[in-house]
Amino acid sequence: MQHVIFACIHNAGRSQMAAAWFNLLANAQKAQAISAGTQPGAHVHPEVLAAMAEVGVDLSQAQPQKLTDDLARDATLLVTMGCGEQCPYIPGLLRDDWPLPDPKGRPIEEVRVIREEVRRRVVALLAAHGWA
């Protein structure tokens, strides 16, 4: 079983969408994902909840969580979500960065574009690693 962590600063937008898409589309016997943040917010952004609900993905129970060493211990890959210098670094862990805009406070039309770009990247990641 491979474990992927999607991380951003507040764990309230991009990383939540990425982990949700990953777990929905991945072969659950090969890989699973979690999301976390370096400074977790209080809740998932409402515009993210709305955009994901439009495609049948319910994030209403998702809670931002802190990225810790314990959380990363069994991970195979860390995908950071465009957080620049504030992105976490975990020694020994393979890392990729997806420079995506933060959906917080954006109009739903823009959040939909971000949602679809996250989905596209997740699909490519799954295919590249044989996790689909």
User: pLDDT tens digits, residue range 76-131?
Assistant: 999 998 766 666 667 778 889 999 999 999 999 999 999 999 999 999 999 999 99
What CATH number is attached to the domain comprising 72?
Answer: 3.40.50.2300
Note the residue count of the chain.
132
Q: Which residues pair with 5 in a beta bridge?
A: 34, 78
Q: What are the catalytic residues?
A: 8, 83, 87
Residue 86's pLDDT is: 67
Give this prediction's pTM: 0.93
Q: Which of 79, 58, 60, 78 has its CA nearest to residue 69? A: 78
If one compares 88 and 3, the residue with the highest pLDDT of the two is: 3
Q: Is 90 exceeded by the pLDDT of residue 43?
A: yes
Residue 124's pLDDT is: 97
Containing structural domain, residue 94: 2-129
- Mean per-residue pLDDT for 21-41? 95
Mean pLDDT of the chain: 92
Q: CB within 8 A of 23, min separation 6: which ones?
A: 32, 33
Give per-residue burial for 13-49: e unless 16+ CB within 10 Å, then b.
bbbbbbbbbbbeebeeeebbbbbbbbebbeebbebbb
Domain count, the chain: 1
- Mean per-residue pLDDT for 35-54? 95
If one compares 112 and 67, the residue with the highest pLDDT of the two is: 112
Q: Where are the beta strands (DSSP E) in the chain?
A: 2-8, 31-37, 77-80, 94-97
Query: What are the structure tokens assigned to 16, written together?
Result: 């939540």
